[in-house]
Amino acid sequence: MRSLRVVTAAAVVAAMAGCAAQGSATRNSGAAPASNPSATSAPSPEPDLPDPDERIPKDPAKLAAALKKTTGALADAIDGWDKKKAPPRDVQLLALYHQRIYRFAARNPAIAAKAFARLPRRLAAEAQDNTRAIRELLALAHPVKSASVIRTRDARPAAELLRYFKQAERRFGVEWEVLAAVMFAETKFGRVRSASHVGAQGPMQFMPATWKAYGMGGDIQDHRDAIMAAANYLRATGAPRDYRRALHAYNPSQAYVNAIQLHARQIKRDPVNYYVYYNWQVYVITVKGERRVTGPSER
């Protein structure tokens, strides 16, 4: 059964790169201006937070230092975030810079190799996995004419999606980390509303015929129903006994399979990585270059 398609890849390179069909996008979620009785007051400074377009160091030593510092600061910010609510601006800014460092590393392997050699062993292993996953998915991307054709919506709260992933794991025996990695790759946790160019729909990107067989009578656009259906489909095609076989049935690409397993492995190593990936933003690859279409803007 190969009727499932990934909408995110083609044009989307969000958290990592994208997958195999068309593109994905998300809302541009800059922070709302704080109320202030003085109309002439300048916005509050954001010390130690990177700007949305912060420069990425090209020197390996400086790149390694930036990645190490940002990874630690992001983990601390995530720890203070109420996961039932939208992520605060500090989490968004740090996650965006974190993602942009990895995207730079994926496109500059020589610099990345020298930088990662300077990192602590655990972080170096994480960096290698993330960079490889991005490269795998970038290789599948097909530029679109314009990012404007991509319709998006807000992601459901991270805590809500995690609850659905774990419910699906209990029912079908498919690891929640794998389901999270699939949803991350497919639609950046449901932010993409557009169908793929081959007609795949919903947060987990089902073709209508496949949904009819595995959707259990649910709504293809409903996040919980889609996650349950994905677990049902993966179980029917080999998981948990053979995840590679099941994931290849979901999207018949070894690059896709590799990327999903790499990201799932990182979530298993440290569940904080689930929240990191949840906050990585969507980039759309167009014929004129790539464009970030979600995430924090300049204040």
What's the pTM value of the predicted model, to 2 decimals?
Answer: 0.85
Residue with tokens 């805590």: 159
Grade residue 39 by pLDDT with cuts at 50, 70 and 90: very low
Kindly compute the dihedral angle of the four CA atoms of residues 56, 186, 152, 81, in this order, to the nearest 10 degrees.
Answer: -60
Residue with tokens 């009785």: 37
| Position with higher pLDDT, 19 vs 205 | 205
**Per-residue pLDDT reduced to its tens digit, 181-194:** 999 999 999 988 88
| Position with higher pLDDT, 44 vs 158 | 158
Predicted local distance difference test score (pLDDT) of residue 230 = 98
Distances (CA, A) of 161 to 44, 89, 222, 263, 296: 32, 20, 11, 17, 22
Grade residue 286 by pLDDT with cuts at 50, 70 and 90: confident
Grade residue 32 by pLDDT with cuts at 50, 70 and 90: very low
Is residue 90 a contact partner of residue 166, using CB atoms and an 8 Å limit? no
Instruction: Return the closest-CA partner of residue 100 out of 70, 65, 137.
Output: 70
**Per-residue pLDDT reduced to its tens digit, 231-280:** 999 999 999 999 999 999 999 999 999 999 999 999 999 999 999 999 99
C-alpha 190/C-alpha 24 separation (Å) is: 10
